Amino acid sequence: MTDKQLIVQVRPDGTVHAETIGMYGEECLDYIAVLENLLDAEATESSFTEAYAQVAAEQHTTTSTWDGVR
């Protein structure tokens, strides 16, 4: 599983570019509001990546004995 990352670039002209890695679905949208608050700014442009449409894979492991008792 990939660690969650928020990569923020402040460009020479003062604009900010941010990208999320390891976040799926609407989870990444929470970070827009956080960045707007931290920077006292407003997002003017955004786009969705393929990860927006994906669901994070979860691994579930179940262990049991032959008689069903753990």
How many CB atoms sit inside 10 A of residue 23's CB?
Answer: 20
Q: What is the dihedral of CA 35, 26, 55, 48, to 10 degrees?
A: -70
Domain boundaries, the chain: 5-52
**Which of 39, 49, 34, 48 is CA-nearest to residue 11?**
39
Q: In this structure, are residues 25 and 52 in contact, taking their beta carbons and an 8 Å threshold? A: yes
Model confidence pLDDT, tens digit, residues 11-70: 999 888 988 888 888 888 888 888 889 889 888 888 887 777 776 555 455 566 667 665
Whole-model pTM: value is 0.61
> What is the pLDDT at residue 46?
84
Higher pLDDT, 61 or 5: 5
